[in-house]
Structure 1
Amino acid sequence: MPDDTYAIYPSLKGKVVLITGGASGIGAEMVAQFARQGSRVAFLDFDREHGAKVAEATGSLFRFCDLRDIAALRAAIAQVKAQLGPVNVLVNNAARDDRHPMETVEPEYWDERMHTNLRHFFFAAQAVAPDMRAAKAGSIVNMGSVSWMKAQGGMPAYTTAKAAIRGMTRGLARDLGGDGIRCNEVVPGWVFTERQEHLWATPESVARTLEGQCLHRKVMPPDLARMVLWLAADDSAMVTAQYFVVDGGAV
């Protein structure tokens, strides 16, 4: 459906929204959707080329950042705050589901996967929390994965990191709730981004996935973005410490 058939949330207009991993895929769609809401959107990514294109197309603020470098992450968030103001909504989205057999994993790779898929979620939340506390309001949305819920193999470091996001989300919801800050998790199924189509989607795997879903169509980036919009908006004002699976009914 065209975008003009979906909801506009008045509470998102003018809000400062920070998205990690916004240069492609689900993240780029979220940048576009929040921009359509009239939010002041910033995103962090280490893909300079696509980041610049998304920023130009959406009128958003792009800051290059390798999220594995926490000092660089903190500096980038400080720059966003200096240019746009305190962050009202944080979407922790950046991750990579690279496949890796259990037998090949060494400690250095394991640590790098945690840095890529988990650690920056916490430190981004830590960086925006003081301003959210001062405002007595804020929404943090962490992007999880159904992979560990489905006992999916072939990427143990990734599934471990994504499982940990559930615990982090619920713990932060408790720690921050007294100041009016909400923290929730959105759990994508297999979302058919350009990367997924290029690397792993075969006619056979797509057919199996759709057959396993209650709704027999591909889950696409806008399906995730619209759930995130609702959790960011005041319409979900009493929703926190929860997770929302968007997978067409596969789990």
Structure 2
Amino acid sequence: MPDYARYPSLEDRVVFITGGAAGIGGDMVRQFAGQGAKVGFIDLAEEAGRETVAACIAAGAAHAPLFIAGDLRDIDALKAAIAETGRHFGDITVLVNNAANDDRHDWSEVTPEYWDDRFAVNLRHQFFAIQAVVPQMRRAGFGSIVNIGSSCWMIKEDFFPGYAIAKSAVQGLTHTMARTFGPDNIRVNAVLPGWVATERQLQKWWSPEGEAGTMEMQCLKRRITAEEFNQMVLFLAADDGGACTAQSFVVDGGRGPL
């Protein structure tokens, strides 16, 4: 078992995570809760969200996470969830914009409606979550915003153009907002995963040929787990990452960019 770091500065820190019910997000909720943080999270998957809360409690988390069921495409619902988390735990000082959907699609079949939905699911909510949470961070006097991007567009994967293009904009969002909020002592960084072997990825997209291709490109010849990906998120959320802002960190086992 890996022996990961513990960050004293995350104890009692209020964290809000989008898409925290399962996959990378579910592990993220468990990791922050295990660090002693007070975690609120939003997701469409109600059963999985409740299971994640139960898992945190069973593992002895100091604070039971607050799960709020909601659709991130509904910006009013997102803002309400952020406000509710602030009322429940106190001012949010860590925001992780994690939620996304990488469903495969063919460029020739994309409609304007589907294009807009890809941006609503993968990008738009990140900006509006930042807009909603920054007043709480300003009251607290500090904050860390971590936007989850993707390395897929860097290595020119072409089987989900709406997703890849939306994710490429996460870095522009990150760098712009880092400049905007630097004077408020609010840091903004991006973490870009490669192929992380979550249950969803293994069930929906895995194939022997696909994994063989990934292993050929990666320097590390093994699967990357959500647990180890999230160590970078924890570092950036904690005081240990206090000098890092306007940066993009690729966690992909050395797969790219090419």
TM-score by length of 1: 0.98
Q: 1:141 aligns with which of 142, 146, 154?
A: 146
Counterpart residue identity of residue 116, structure 1: V
Question: How far, CA to CA, are the matches of 2:85 and 2:162 in structure 1?
Answer: 31
1:106 matched to 2:111: yes
Q: Which residue of 2 aligns with 1:208?
A: 213
* Equivalent residue letter for 1:215: L
Counting aligned pairs with the same residue, the percent is: 55
1:151 aligns with 2:149: no
Contact 2:14 2:91 in 1 (8 A): yes
Give the whole-Å Cα distance in 1 for the aligned partners of 2:66 and 2:137: 20
1:202 shift after superposition: 1.0
| CA contact 2:91–2:140 (8 Å) conserved in 1 | no
- In structure 1, give the amino acid aligned to 2:255: A
Distance in 2 separating the partners of 1:10 and 1:199: 37
How far, CA to CA, are the matches of 1:14 and 1:239 in structure 2? 22
RMSD, aligned CA = 0.8
1:13 is aligned to 2:18 = no
2:184 and 2:81 map into 1 onto residues whose CA distance is: 24
Structure 1: 5+ residue stretches without partners:
none
- Aligned twin of 1:42: 40
CA deviation after TM superposition for structure 1 residue 133, in Å: 1.4
1:17 to partner: Cα distance: 0.6
User: Partner of 2:178 in structure 1?
Assistant: 173
The one-letter code sitting in structure 2 at the alignment partner of 1:87 is: I
Q: In the aligned structure 2, how far is the partner of 1:105 from the partner of 1:52?
A: 34
SS at match of 1:140: strand
Q: Is the 8 A contact 2:144 2:237 kept in 1?
A: yes
1:90 aligns with 2:101: no
Contact 2:107 2:161 in 1 (8 A): yes
Q: Give the whole-Å Cα distance in 2 for the aligned partners of 1:175 and 1:190.
A: 31
User: Given residue 73 of structure 1, which amino acid in structure 2 is its aligned partner?
Assistant: L
Deviations 1:33-91 (A, max 9, x none): 00110000111001001001101111311001100000111111111111111101000
The answer for unaligned runs of 5 or more in structure 2 is 57-63
Task: Describe the SS at the equivalent of 2:6.
Answer: coil
Alpha-carbon separation, structure 2, partners of 1:39 and 1:233: 10
Letter of the structure 2 residue corresponding to residue 51 of structure 1: G
What is the number of residues matched between the two proteins? 249
Q: Which whole-Å CA distance do the structure 1 matches of 2:71 and 2:216 have between them?
A: 38
Q: Compute the displacement of 1:100 (Å).
A: 0.8
Q: Does 1:79 align with 2:88?
A: no
Partner of 2:233: 228
* C-alpha distance in 2 between matches for 1:221 and 1:162: 18
